Amino acid sequence: MRLLLLAPPGAGKGTQAKRLSQYYGIEHISTGDMLRREVAEGTPLGLEAKKYLDRGDLVPDELIREMVSERVTEADPKGGFLLDGYPRNLAQAEEASALARDQGITINGAVYLDVSSEELLRRLMARAGTESRSDDNEETIRHRIEVFENQTRPLADYFRERGLLISVDGEQPVEKVTHDIIDSLAARSEAGSEAGGEVGGEVGGEVAIPSPAPDRPPTDGGSH
Ligand code: AMP
């Protein structure tokens, strides 16, 4: 199982990532955790990344690219991975597609946790009171939500157009959210095996994130 997890800050991304990676027995690759570890260890990457993390901005793509591709390459032959926090913008999504294509990796789905901005703000402010993350103060929280809206939310359309989006109501109880995701993935893999392959598709003999307008029926009410 190979999954991407797209979600705004405060949507329960980390929690769902742990639950899903446990359920499927796959590696949980969190770019946020990797970056925080680099910062804590004071590595050159950590020192560079810290100023972006503290402001709630995205760390430059080139700093993320190598970090992610190494982990994905390691995890892929061991049964898959769940990428938590990557891709985060369109450039990274294109990069992820190229990486998948080059390495013959099929993505089963891009899970999107849908939570309103008001609920995100409420949850993050509550969390800021109990945890001490350097990016959990009101100004940075608002900025992170804005960065998500501007840079990451458009990826929902990117993956929808490629037939990979699994959008789930993230305001439901934790267990129900996990359940909905697992159910959607099961339904998709059944549909995929009927069509003769995994969702993600074989494109010209290569497995890849498919291009837009895949040759299966639209799920959102038709094209006319
Ligand atoms: P997260 O734990 O996923 O909320 O990530 C925390 C912070 O790490 C984000 O606010 C960004 O500063 C940085 N970050 C995590 N993943 C990425 C990524 N794919 N691209 C750029 N920055 C990232």
pLDDT in tens, 80-129: 999 999 999 999 999 999 988 988 999 999 999 999 989 999 999 888 87
Closest atom of ligand 1 to 84 CA is: 3
CA–CA gap between residue 209 and residue 150 (Å, rounded): 23
CATH class of 2-200: alpha beta
Query: Does the C-beta of 52 come closer than 6 Å to ligand 1?
Result: yes
Protein residue closest via CA to atom 6 of ligand 1? 32
Taking alpha carbons only, the member of 2, 18, 16 closest to residue 177 is 16
Question: pLDDT tens digit string along 26-77?
Answer: 999 999 999 999 999 999 999 999 999 999 999 999 999 989 999 999 999 9
Quick one: which H or E segment has residue 29? strand 27-30
**Domain regions of the chain by residue span:** 2-200
Task: Report how far ligand 1's centroid is from the alpha carbon of 70 (Å).
Answer: 17
Token digits of residue 7: 């979600």
User: Phi and psi of 110, rounded to 5°?
Assistant: -110, 110
pTM assigned to the model: 0.84
Within 10 angstroms of residue 158's Cβ, the number of other Cβ atoms is 20
